Amino acid sequence: MTRAQDAAARSLPVVIVGGGVGGVCTALALGRQGRRVMLLEQADQIGAIGYGVQIGPNVLPMLERLGVGQSVLEKGYQPTEIRWCDIASGASLAEIPLHTPEFARRYGGSRYIAIHRVDLHQLLLAACEALPNVELNQATAVQGYRQDGERLVVLSADGREIEAAAVIASDGLRSRIRAQMQPGDLPRDTGYVAHRTIVPMDQAPALARQRTGVTMWSGPGFHVIYYPLRGRTELNIVMVVRVPPGIDCESAAYRDHIAAIEAGAQAEPRELIERVSLERRWSIADRDPIRRWTDGRVTLLGDAAHATLQSLAQGAGMAIEDAVVLASILDEAGDDYAGAFERLQRARFLRTARVQLESRALWDVFHCDGLDAELRAMQWGERTPHDFYRCLDWLWTPLHPGA
Ligand SMILES: Cc1cc2nc3c(=O)[nH]c(=O)nc-3n(C[C@H](O)[C@H](O)[C@H](O)COP(=O)(O)OP(=O)(O)OC[C@H]3O[C@@H](n4cnc5c(N)ncnc54)[C@H](O)[C@@H]3O)c2cc1C
């Protein structure tokens, strides 16, 4: 053990609550700085639910900063474009090419990637496990924290008090630490649910199998999105449905609702809808932006701080950016965690609030009806790929934290 590692081992740990993508990236970022890190995850196994995630060109450079960029490139798939069509008419609403010289020039040579969450998590965990100063704890639920004067402790559900130098709560949309910090501030439910399915590519519907990009079909109160994973050997499908009032998702009435959507859909999305398993679902919710997500040496991070709808496919991306920006601030701040967390909040608030609010606006555009849908087709039809890039520059241009 080196002298620095020995000193780190004797210091109080930075405790990270939650082993989602935000928590694991933060453990890796701070671990690489030589800090003692203790991650606490409530699940029996730190892992990820087994579906795909899109990673915008702003995110790959962050993963490079964490030393895993090359592995992500190797495990990920690079979709050729993002295509969005009207589910009833089949009209193309938007097409954003992802392999053009202009894309490469605008986003510093970065790539748009689709990766299996399990692959992403495993490579991040392997990088953490290579660091002796990072301790990963499973089956440890956190109930809250107590901060009196110099002493900061994390309270675990099994009655332990873990003393910490600082606490980073990346415990997701329904964060317990946020509930303690901001009582009464609740997630905002949309009334939509998502169903996710992965099918082997050789068993995928023929029309979808030909697609090499991210494809989305949307209509009133509904969208389905799909893209290849793992060298195009798998197809990831996400179907999002507004649940009609008073209908239970387990009921025959819900299945009838899906059948009615299917009946009015073009052939390509119709074949996809048939393949989606309705057994599991995720309620779709986000958070209102808040300006204050720190309390002394405790901060929120990722979805706990700024959960967003997935319209821009950037919730995980923002959590990864948070981790890298925090590490860069701590490079200068040393052990002044309270000061660093204030700076993190200032650095990240407007960008993440914009993702939250633009994602909400886009959600309404995805699912609109009648005249709104006609106007949408007209307005979006006027846009060239160059126009789409310009609209996304604020988001897709990689940050240069600490540069
Ligand atoms: C259908 C869908 C599609 C999406 N697609 C994309 C996409 O393509 N691209 C993208 O960037 N984002 C996408 N997102 C958003 C993305 O999944 C989230 O933003 C991201 O997972 C947030 O990461 P996180 O680490 O902040 O939180 P989470 O992933 O929610 O992780 C929180 C972790 O904390 C643990 N935990 C919770 N409470 C406690 C506690 N009390 N004690 C200990 N541990 C606790 C949980 O078990 C969990 O492991 C999508 C979301 C949905 C629902």
| Residue 62, domain CATH | 3.50.50.60
What does the pLDDT look like over 342-391, one tens digit per residue? Answer: 999 999 999 999 999 999 999 999 999 999 999 999 999 999 999 999 99
Read off the pTM: 0.97
Q: How far apart are CA 390 and CA 155, in angstroms?
A: 46
pLDDT for res 295? 97
Residue 171 resides in a domain: yes
- What mean pLDDT do residues 266-291 have? 96
Is the CB of 303 inside a 6 Å radius of any atom of ligand 1? yes
Residue 354 resides in a domain: yes
pLDDT for res 8? 65
pLDDT for res 402? 84
Q: How far apart are CA 110 and CA 76, in angstroms?
A: 13
pLDDT for res 149? 83
Å from CA of 187 to ligand 1 middle = 14
For 57, phi and psi rounded to 5 degrees? -65, -15
Q: How far apart are CA 279 and CA 196, in angstroms?
A: 9
For 390, phi and psi rounded to 5 degrees? -60, -40
Is the CB of 57 inside a 6 Å radius of any atom of ligand 1? no
Å from CA of 172 to ligand 1 middle = 5
Q: How far apart are CA 201 and CA 270, in angstroms?
A: 17
pLDDT for res 50? 83
Q: Is the pLDDT assigned to residue 401 strictly greater than 80?
A: yes
What does the pLDDT look like over 173-226, one tens digit per residue? Answer: 999 999 999 999 999 999 999 999 999 999 999 999 999 999 999 999 999 999
Q: Is the pLDDT assigned to residue 4 strictly greater than 70?
A: no
Cβ contact 214:114 at 8 Å = yes
How do 37-40 and 166-169 pair as beta strands? unpaired
Is the CB of 19 inside a 6 Å radius of any atom of ligand 1? yes
Question: Ligand 1 test: best mutation among 25, 41, 320, most atoms within 8 Å of CB?
Answer: 41
Å from CA of 200 to ligand 1 middle = 25
Cβ contact 83:141 at 8 Å = no
Q: How far apart are CA 399 and CA 61, in angstroms?
A: 8
Å from CA of 11 to ligand 1 middle = 29
Residue 294 resides in a domain: yes
- Structural domain boundaries, residue 297: 3-78+115-186+288-365
Atom of ligand 1 nearest to the CA of 175: 38
What does the pLDDT look like over 315-324, one tens digit per residue? Answer: 999 999 999 9
Which DSSP state fits 311? G
**3-class DSSP state for residue 374?**
helix
Is the CB of 286 inside a 6 Å radius of any atom of ligand 1? no
Distance of CA 312 to the CA centre of its chain: 10
Q: How far apart are CA 403 and CA 257, in angstroms?
A: 52
Q: Which long-range contacts (CB under 8 A, 24 or more apart) does 243-246 make?
A: 243/191, 243/192, 243/193
Angle 63-64-65 from CA coordinates, rounded to 5°: 90
Which ranges in 291-402 belong to alpha helices (H)?
303-306, 315-333, 337-366, 370-381, 385-396
Joined together, the tokens standing for residue 306 give 């700024």
**Burial profile 175-186: b = 16 or more Cβ within 10 angstroms, e = fewer:** bbbbebbbeeee
Q: Which residue from 44, 293, 65, 50 is spatially nearest to 169, judged by alpha carbons?
A: 293
Q: Is the pLDDT assigned to residue 9 strictly greater than 80?
A: no
Cα distances (Å, whole numbers) of residue 267 to 203, 264, 274, 277, 389: 17, 9, 11, 18, 30
Residue 220 resides in a domain: no
What does the pLDDT look like over 95-133, one tens digit per residue? Answer: 999 999 999 999 999 999 999 999 999 999 999 999 999
Is the CB of 170 inside a 6 Å radius of any atom of ligand 1? yes
What does the pLDDT look like over 20-39, one tens digit per residue? Answer: 999 999 999 999 999 999 99
Joined together, the tokens standing for residue 398 give 């990689």
Cβ contact 278:193 at 8 Å = no
Q: Is the pLDDT assigned to residue 403 strictly greater than 80?
A: no
Q: Is the pLDDT assigned to residue 3 strictly greater than 70?
A: no
Is the CB of 219 inside a 6 Å radius of any atom of ligand 1? no
pLDDT for res 49? 79
Cβ neighbours, 10 Å, residue 356? 22
Is the CB of 164 inside a 6 Å radius of any atom of ligand 1? no
Per cent of the chain over pLDDT 70 is 98
How do 234-242 and 188-200 pair as beta strands? antiparallel
Per-residue confidence at 6, pLDDT binned at 50, 70, 90?
Answer: low
Residue 257 resides in a domain: no
Q: How far apart are CA 281 and CA 259, in angstroms?
A: 17
Residue 385 resides in a domain: no
Q: Give nearest CA residue, ligand 1 atom 35.
A: 18
Helix (H) or strand (E) holding 79: none
Residue 231 resides in a domain: no
What does the pLDDT look like over 132-188, one tens digit per residue? Answer: 999 999 999 999 999 998 899 999 999 999 999 999 999 999 999 999 999 999 999
Å from CA of 301 to ligand 1 middle = 11
Å from CA of 176 to ligand 1 middle = 14
Residue 122 resides in a domain: yes
DSSP 99-148: SSHHHHHHTTT---EEEEHHHHHHHHHHHHHT-TTEEEE-S--EEEEEEE
Q: Is the pLDDT assigned to residue 1 strictly greater than 90?
A: no
Cβ contact 262:268 at 8 Å = no
What does the pLDDT look like over 300-333, one tens digit per residue? Answer: 999 999 999 999 999 999 999 999 999 999 999 9
Å from CA of 262 to ligand 1 middle = 29
What does the pLDDT look like over 50-94, one tens digit per residue? Answer: 899 999 999 999 999 999 999 999 999 999 999 999 999 999 999
Q: Give nearest CA residue, ligand 1 atom 27.
A: 172
How many distinct structural domains can be found in the chain? 1
Task: Provide the residue count of the chain.
Answer: 403
Distance of CA 50 to the CA centre of its chain: 14
